[in-house]
Amino acid sequence: MNREKVWEDFTALPLEAQQQAADFIAFLRSRYRQFTPDQKANLRDLGNEAFIGMWRDRVDMEDSSQWVRDVRRREWK
């Protein structure tokens, strides 16, 4: 890949197309971002989040698959 040629092609684009290319590059960077060990340590432990288990005491949710089937049957008639 010739960086100078890529830059030349990029600068030859209209401003709107340059913005689209920049957005796509930002998307690719986020998609292929590598986590360092320090960054992994900073990720939150979902098990400690307040929303985990918030429906644990609901009797109607003991069988979540059945609950979904019942809701679909009721709503999609």
In a domain, 58, yes or no: no
In a domain, 26, yes or no: yes
pLDDT for res 8: 94
pLDDT for res 41: 59
In a domain, 69, yes or no: no
In a domain, 48, yes or no: no
In a domain, 54, yes or no: no
Question: Count of domains in the chain?
Answer: 1
3-state secondary structure the chain: CCHHHHHHHHHHCCHHHHHHHHHHHHHHHHHCCCCCHHHHHHCCCHHHCCCCCCCCCCHHHCCHHHHHHHHHHHHCC
In a domain, 44, yes or no: no
Instruction: Supply the range of the domain harboring residue 13.
Output: 1-37
- Each of the 77 residues of the chain gets a pLDDT tens digit; together they read 799 999 999 999 999 999 999 999 999 998 888 766 666 656 677 778 888 888 888 888 888 899 899 999 999 98
